[in-house]
């Protein structure tokens, strides 16, 4: 049986090749003398695709920085992949970024559940998970267990605390109905609202959750109306926030609306107004920490002018009215800052150290007076915001800068 022995020989040879194959070397992944490679995921399609500009704005800003010499003579290459807001895909794409593309760090991945999906893995393989684009407080709070993770924006708990306090103070007789996304993000906002209301917690007459995979929130809005709520908290992502306004309008219900910052971008509000009515969105309240490019106050602002010129040059002039682009640029500005302070030859450890020692008073994209600041035990880079009111089709901020965490 000569053929059999051929097969056996082939198999043995095959085994030899297999055992000979070894892993590649592993020094400073993603960093060469000319380039620093970072990556992240973002929903480019799907229910949360409005957030795509969070990555696009950041990418445009990195291109601008690269055109002006880069960071310590290295160009920043930022790869972002579409995860459709599905945590399973986020994990898959992130693993690809780490193992295949060998990125230096994961940056600006958007979403609470999506980031929760990859946090355990990234901390296991010691890859920095930088400036998570989600306001869940766990990013800043649980650093002892997850030292390679840090958040960015003001926490959802903090944001809703501001709303709660404001309602308790200015409208103590409200009947509050809450629409929330039934996940860690929505629940964080609920916690904050109750914290802010304090003793007035009883003002909440109904809480209605929805799943991000749901088609619409019509039945939830109807139930809130049925509970005779006169104040509506929209703790929802843009698609569902817009639906909340239009469903309320269809039901002939016009409550006082508080809409969370992740859905209060001017362009989202414009769509919400078009799909409901001017009266429906008028008087809505939200918080703001970025310079809204549609706010006439920043018409002559240098940072907003820079924002426009960067988008024109590196993003085909798209998204000039989109505050999520501002968010992306702000986050990218902080990333550049962290890389600058991570030394001539940045390592994953040194960039983590820089990210937890931020003291950034010059970030041009956030509201004047806001500092991006962290310490190893205080990992909430942005912790200040202002209230704003929607009036005549645009946001007008009011009151002082509030600082909470």
Q: CB 19 → another protein: shortest distance, Å?
A: 7
Query: Taking the mean position of all CA atoms in its chain, how far away is CA 315?
Result: 20
Dihedral angle of Cα 157, 159, 160, 166, to the nearest 10 degrees: 140
Site string for another protein, 35-74 (x = CB under 8 A): ----------x-----------------------------
Q: Which residue has the tokens 């690809």?
A: 96
Q: Does 113 bind another protein (CB under 8 A)?
A: yes
Applying CB under 8 A, among 60, 117, 242, 402 the residue interacting with another protein is 117
Q: Does 398 bind another protein (CB under 8 A)?
A: no
> Distance (Å, rounded) from C-alpha 340 to C-alpha 352?
12
Q: CB 264 → another protein: shortest distance, Å?
A: 24
**CB-CB contact of 383 with 401 (8 Å):** no
CA–CA distance from 397 to each of 56, 157, 387, 388 (Å)? 26, 20, 6, 4
**CB-CB contact of 109 with 34 (8 Å):** no
Q: CB 4 → another protein: shortest distance, Å?
A: 7
Applying CB under 8 A, among 32, 34, 72, 88 the residue interacting with another protein is 88
The distance in angstroms from the start CA to the end CA of the chain is 77
Q: Shortest CA distance to 50 belongs to which of 345, 302, 328? A: 328
Q: CB 150 → another protein: shortest distance, Å?
A: 18
For another protein, the closer of residues 74 and 119 by Cβ is 119
Q: CB 87 → another protein: shortest distance, Å?
A: 6
Q: Does 20 bind another protein (CB under 8 A)?
A: yes
**CB-CB contact of 284 with 299 (8 Å):** no
Q: Does 182 bind another protein (CB under 8 A)?
A: yes
CA–CA distance from 253 to each of 28, 142, 171, 226, 242 (Å)? 58, 41, 19, 10, 15
Applying CB under 8 A, among 91, 266, 308, 373 the residue interacting with another protein is 91
Q: Does 100 bind another protein (CB under 8 A)?
A: yes
> Distance (Å, rounded) from C-alpha 258 to C-alpha 389?
9
> Distance (Å, rounded) from C-alpha 48 to C-alpha 65?
28
Site string for another protein, 208-247 (x = CB under 8 A): ---xxx----------------------------------
Applying CB under 8 A, among 23, 27, 202, 302 the residue interacting with another protein is 23
Judged by CB under 8 A, which stretch of 12-20, 62-70, 225-233, 248-256 contacts another protein? 12-20
Q: Does 144 bind another protein (CB under 8 A)?
A: no
Can you tell me whether residue 388 is helix, strand or coil? strand
> Distance (Å, rounded) from C-alpha 312 to C-alpha 317?
4
Applying CB under 8 A, among 33, 124, 170, 392 the residue interacting with another protein is 124
Q: CB 84 → another protein: shortest distance, Å?
A: 9
Q: Which stretch of DSSP H or E encloses residue 131?
A: strand 129-132
> Distance (Å, rounded) from C-alpha 402 to C-alpha 405?
10
For another protein, the closer of residues 124 and 377 by Cβ is 124
Q: Does 179 bind another protein (CB under 8 A)?
A: no
**CB-CB contact of 121 with 143 (8 Å):** no
Q: Does 188 bind another protein (CB under 8 A)?
A: no
Q: Shortest CA distance to 35 belongs to which of 92, 75, 81? A: 75
Q: Does 87 bind another protein (CB under 8 A)?
A: yes
Q: Which stretch of DSSP H or E encloses residue 178?
A: strand 176-181
Applying CB under 8 A, among 52, 57, 83, 86 the residue interacting with another protein is 86
Applying CB under 8 A, among 35, 66, 121, 336 the residue interacting with another protein is 121
Q: Which residues bind another protein (CB under 8 A)?
A: 3-4, 6-7, 10-11, 13-15, 17-21, 23-24, 45, 86-88, 91-92, 95-96, 99-100, 113, 116-117, 119-121, 124-125, 182-184, 211-213
């Amino acid at each position: 049986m000569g053929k059999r022995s051929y097969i056996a020989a082939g198999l043995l040879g095959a085994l030899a090749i297999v055992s000979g194959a070894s892993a590649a070397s592993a020094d400073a992944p993603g960093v060469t003398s000319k380039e620093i490679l970072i990556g992240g995921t973002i929903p480019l399609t799907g229910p949360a695709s409005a957030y795509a500009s969070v990555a696009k704005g950041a990418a445009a800003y990195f291109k601008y920085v690269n055109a002006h010499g880069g960071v310590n003579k290295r160009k920043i290459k930022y790869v972002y992949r579409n995860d459709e807001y599905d945590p399973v895909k986020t994990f898959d794409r992130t693993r690809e970024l780490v193992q295949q593309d060998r990125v230096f760090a994961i940056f600006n991945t958007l979403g609470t559940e999506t980031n929760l999906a990859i946090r355990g893995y990234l901390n296991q393989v010691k890859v920095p998970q930088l400036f998570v684009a989600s306001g869940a407080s766990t990013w800043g709070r649980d650093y002892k267990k997850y030292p390679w993770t840090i958040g960015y924006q003001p926490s959802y708990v903090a944001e809703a605390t501001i709303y709660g306090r404001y309602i308790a103070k200015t409208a103590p007789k409200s009947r509050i109905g809450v629409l929330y996304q039934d996940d860690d993000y929505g629940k964080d906002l609920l916690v904050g609202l109750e914290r802010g209301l304090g003793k007035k917690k009883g003002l909440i007459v109904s809480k209605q959750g929805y799943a991000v995979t749901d088609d619409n929130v019509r039945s939830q809005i109807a139930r809130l109306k049925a509970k005779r709520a006169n104040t509506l908290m929209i703790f929802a992502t843009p698609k569902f926030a817009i639906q909340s306004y239009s469903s309320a309008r269809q039901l002939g219900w016009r409550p006082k609306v508080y809409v969370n910052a992740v859905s209060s971008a001017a362009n989202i509000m414009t769509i919400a107004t078009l799909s409901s009515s001017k009266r429906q969105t008028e008087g809505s309240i939200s918080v703001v920490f970025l310079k809204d490019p549609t706010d006439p106050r920043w018409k002559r602002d240098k940072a907003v002018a820079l924002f426009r010129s960067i988008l024109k040059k590196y993003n085909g002039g798209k998204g000039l009215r989109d505050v999520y682009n501002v968010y992306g640029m702000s986050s990218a500005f902080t990333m550049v800052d962290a890389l600058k302070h991570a030394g001539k030859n940045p390592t994953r450890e040194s960039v983590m150290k820089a990210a937890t020692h931020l003291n950034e008073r010059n970030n041009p994209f956030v509201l004047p007076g806001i500092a991006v600041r962290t310490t190893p035990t205080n990992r909430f880079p942005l912790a200040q915001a202002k209230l704003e009111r929607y009036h005549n089709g645009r946001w007008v901020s009011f009151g002082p800068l509030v600082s909470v965490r």
